[in-house]
Amino acid sequence: MTPDTHPTFADSTRADLRFIIIGAGMSGILSAIKLREAGLDNFAIYEKADRLGGTWRENTYAGVACDVPSHLYSYSFAPNPDWSHRFSPGAEIQAYFEDVARRYGVDSLIQYGKEISRCEFENGRWKIEMADGSTDVGDIVIAATGVLHHPAYPDIEGLECFEGTMFHSARWNRDATLAGKRVGVVGTGSTAIQIVAARVDEVAELSLFQRTAQWVMPQENPAYSEQERTEFREYPETMAQLRSDISRLFADGFSNAVVDADSPQLEAIHAACVANLENRVKDPELREKLRPNYRAACKRLIMSADFYDAIERPNAKLVSEGIERIEKSGVRTRDGQLHELDVLILATGFRVDRFMRPMEVVGRNGTTLEDAWREAPFAYMAISVPDFPNLFMLNGPNGPVGNFSLIDVAELQFSYIMQLVERVRSGSCKELSASRAATERFDADRKEAAKKTIWQSGCKSWYLDANGVPAAWPWTFDRFREEMSKPRLGDFEMR
């Protein structure tokens, strides 16, 4: 496909606007479904991988599950009566997205193996170049590129020297045998905790290398009975009410609490985490190693029903000494001890500041996204960047990324984006992006509000950008919902 096969922007009619959707994860699938629902069928979905699914395609590690209840972590328009548990495993979530894409006729529209390397705004349209040499041109770009897909590898001396089996949790080696092996896990985030709980009973020895202790919130995960699933199928309004109740509970009990470090809800969360540690970990020495020196929810809160039990197994060992280097036979810690291993798993998270990068994005007047984001990624309302007209991000910089449903977030954002797109469809303008003044005001307000959040209360986490500022929505989720209900058109530059 070449640029000259498409009409110029000036020749486009309302029905001819062409959309380019980047990514076929949760947000990309949502975008395609909603565009078709609006009668906008002139779009392409480009996916760099060979399957849809995004985060849930990438993360197939042992024990992977979502920490948001299944009935909330679902599209509002596609409820699933057959979730197996309150918090469903990753494979089930992946199957859900595949099923939704199939039912809504989106799966056949996705073009796989199409990694976009460059997007350039030229003569009022976006020229798209792909790694395989193919090109496309569109009027509107929707960047549904996700957050958790660029693995972060630790900067540890000798990482390449290990002679056993080593892999990142997001690049899970399905051919690796863990049974009866000496396994080391680097990291103590949600991924590491899930891996430890899922595999401790099958390995010979498990060493968890902890740089920072984490607060763990107790989480029960009951299975739904066949009777409950039957009721969900026969009475969809029951599912809708359950989703609404969970959403309200999450907003009031957590997402609205973390943006106020002094909130009573946050005090209750901290007390629950302390009680969980005190009551579940019997070994006093281990308990103190597992006790963080910061407040609960300063880092992303970990939910687990069985981690503390797992780390107290006779074959499990918590290593709190810092890692000096990796050697061919294992991990050498700073106390001089060599921890011999057969398998080393790097559960060290993701580069969450990438967003659309590493693709080269060139906006108006040759402005590059890399230059615009040199200090830190930013976007007005997490959606639009000045000088990058008709380009909109889902789950972009500084959006809500706490322990609640990013599906809810994406649905609200897409509705907001469609209201902006309507300005172009109606002929009110040809180009639209957030104004520089509005973006600077929004960013200043965001940084000021972030000072009151729990994320800036004295810990290091992936919520903080390179300047130590929380890169997350610092207001209540209710405010986010209100902002997304209707754009402030005066904050946008329209040409």
Q: List, for residues 239-295, the tens digit of each pLDDT value.
A: 999 999 999 998 888 888 999 999 999 999 999 999 999 999 999 999 999 999 999
pLDDT higher than threshold 90 for residue 462: no
> Which pLDDT belongs to residue 352?
83
Q: pLDDT class for 9, splitting at 50, 70, 90?
A: very low
pLDDT digits (tens, 9 = 90+) for 364-391: 999 999 999 999 999 999 999 999 999 9
The answer to whether residue 81 scores a pLDDT higher than 50 is yes
CATH number (domain holding residue 440): 3.50.50.60
State the Cα–Cα distance between residues 154 and 192, nearest whole angstrom. 14
* 372 shares a domain with 359: yes
Q: Give residue-wise pLDDT tens across range 172-181.
A: 999 999 999 9
Least confident of 95-104, 144-153, 233-242: 144-153
pLDDT value at position 353? 84
**Last residue in a domain, options 346, 370, 397:** 346
Residue 1: pLDDT band (50, 70, 90) is very low
Q: What is the mean pLDDT of the chain?
A: 94
Burial-class residue 400 by CB neighbours within 10 Å (0-12, 13-18, 19+). buried
| Predicted confidence (pLDDT) at residue 394 exceeds the cutoff of 60 | yes
User: Would residue 227 count as lying in a domain?
Assistant: no
Pair (166, 286) in one structural domain: yes
Using the predicted structure, report yes or no on whether residue 3 has a pLDDT greater than 50. Answer: no
Question: Nearest 5 degrees, angle CA 491-CA 367-CA 117?
Answer: 110
Q: Is the pLDDT of residue 8 over 50?
A: no
Q: Is 255 exposed, middle or buried (0-12, 13-18, 19+ CB in 10 A)?
A: buried
> Are residue 127 and residue 52 in the same domain, yes or no?
yes
- Does one domain contain both 360 and 486? yes
pTM of the model: 0.94
Is there a domain that residue 390 lies in?
yes
Q: Compute the distance between CA of residue 426 and CA of residue 430 in angstroms, rounded to an integer.
A: 9
Burial (0-12, 13-18, 19+ Cβ within 10 Å), 375: exposed
Report whether pLDDT(83) > 90.
yes
- Do 304 and 204 belong to one domain? yes
SS3 167: strand
Helix axes 406-425, 26-37, angle to 10 degrees: 40
Q: Give SS3 for 119.
A: strand
Domain match, 115 and 166 both: no
Q: Are 387 and 363 in contact (CB under 8 A)?
A: yes
- At residue 401, the pLDDT reads 75
Instruction: Show the domain range for 172.
Output: 159-215+262-346
Residue 245: inside a domain, yes or no?
A: no
- Domain assignment present for 256: no
Are 90 and 59 a contacting pair, CB within 8 Å? yes
Which of 177, 209, 170, 193 is closest to 325 using CA atoms? Answer: 209
Q: Do 267 and 375 fall within a single domain?
A: no
Q: How many angstroms separate the Cα of 324 from the Cα of each of 87, 347, 360?
A: 37, 18, 37
CA distances from 30 to 41, 70, 183, 375 (A): 14, 17, 39, 31
Residue with tokens 């001890």: 337
Last residue of a domain, one of 329, 346, 363: 346
What pLDDT score was predicted for residue 5?
41
61 and 210 share one domain: no
- Per-residue pLDDT of 110-136, as tens digits, reads 999 999 999 999 999 999 999 999 999
CA distances from 276 to 81, 284, 291, 302 (A): 32, 14, 11, 12
Q: Is residue 458 part of a domain?
A: yes
Kindly tell me the burial class for residue 108, based on how many C-beta atoms sit within 10 Å of its own C-beta (0-12, 13-18, 19 or more): exposed
Q: Which of 271-280, 296-305, 457-466 has the weakest average pLDDT? A: 457-466
Residue 355 has what pLDDT? 86
The predicted-structure confidence for 26-64, as pLDDT tens digits, reads as follows 999 999 999 999 999 999 999 999 999 999 999 999 999
Per the domain annotation, does 138 fall within a domain? yes
> Does 175 lie in the same domain as 93?
no
State whether 198 and 337 are in the same domain.
Answer: yes
Quick check: 15 pLDDT over 80? no
Q: Are 78 and 97 in contact (CB under 8 A)?
A: no
Whether residues 165 and 302 share a domain: the answer is yes
Q: Is residue 253 one of the residues assigned to a domain?
A: no
Number of domains in the chain: 2
Q: Is residue 406 part of a domain?
A: yes
Q: Which of 346, 377, 401 represents a domain boundary (last residue)?
A: 346
pLDDT band for position 301 (cuts 50, 70, 90): very high
User: Over pLDDT 90: what percentage of the chain?
Assistant: 89
Residue 458: what residue type? Answer: G
Instruction: Give the C-alpha separation, 447 to 473, whole Å.
Output: 10
Residue 300 contacts residue 462 (beta carbons within 8 Å): yes
Residue 11, pLDDT above cutoff 50: no
Q: How far is CA 428 from CA 44, 169, 240, 359, 493, in A?
A: 24, 48, 37, 30, 12
Residues 238, 27: Cα–Cα separation, whole Å: 26
pLDDT tens sequence across 213-241: 999 999 999 999 999 999 999 999 999 99
